[in-house]
């Protein structure tokens, strides 16, 4: 064994090879891909649920709610200050899971609005962390 060296005190190459950095890259890659997949497929998903019959009202609402997550910045700041990266990352996981459950568990477009809110919060903390 050896003495543990804090990642920030390691040389750049060793930082890139650290378990913490690799875990961070994988975590963010998965969540970034998920976030983009949801955004890109929202039109088709909502159309499948019948949004075309409403004149794409729910797609418009989905797009409108995306920037609303900025109002939760004080919450993200609180989570990050009190719990650090661990709490922030777990919050990302929880919001992503909540959104996913809503998305797959209901064909009701009105219920999907709660999913839009979860997605907005998920995306806000993902890119704010």
Helix (H), strand (E), coil (C) string for 49-71: CCHHHHCCHHHHHHHHHHHHHHH
> From residue 38, how far is each of 16, 26, 43, 53, 83 by CA, in Å?
29, 18, 9, 21, 28
Per-residue pLDDT reduced to its tens digit, 46-94: 999 999 999 999 999 999 999 988 988 899 999 999 999 899 999 999 9
Q: What percent of the chain has pLDDT over 90?
A: 78
pTM of the model: 0.86
Tokens, residue 122: 């998920």
Tokens, residue 43: 């039109």
d(CA 129, CA 124): 8
Please answer whether residues 7 and 15 qualify as being in contact, where contact means their C-beta atoms are separated by less than 8 angstroms: yes
């Amino acid at each position: 064994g050896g003495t543990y060296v804090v990642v920030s005190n390691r040389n750049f190459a060793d930082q890139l090879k650290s378990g913490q950095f690799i875990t961070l890259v994988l975590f963010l890659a998965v969540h970034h891909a998920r976030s983009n997949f949801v955004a890109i497929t929202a039109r088709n998903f909502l159309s499948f649920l019948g949004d075309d019959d409403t004149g794409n009202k729910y797609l418009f609402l989905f797009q409108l709610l995306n920037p609303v997550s900025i109002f939760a910045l004080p919450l993200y700041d609180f989570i990050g200050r009190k719990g650090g990266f661990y709490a922030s990352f777990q919050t990302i996981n929880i919001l992503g899971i909540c959104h996913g459950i809503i998305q797959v568990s209901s064909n009701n477009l009105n219920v999907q609005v709660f999913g839009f809110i979860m997605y907005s919060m998920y995306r806000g903390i993902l890119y704010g962390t």
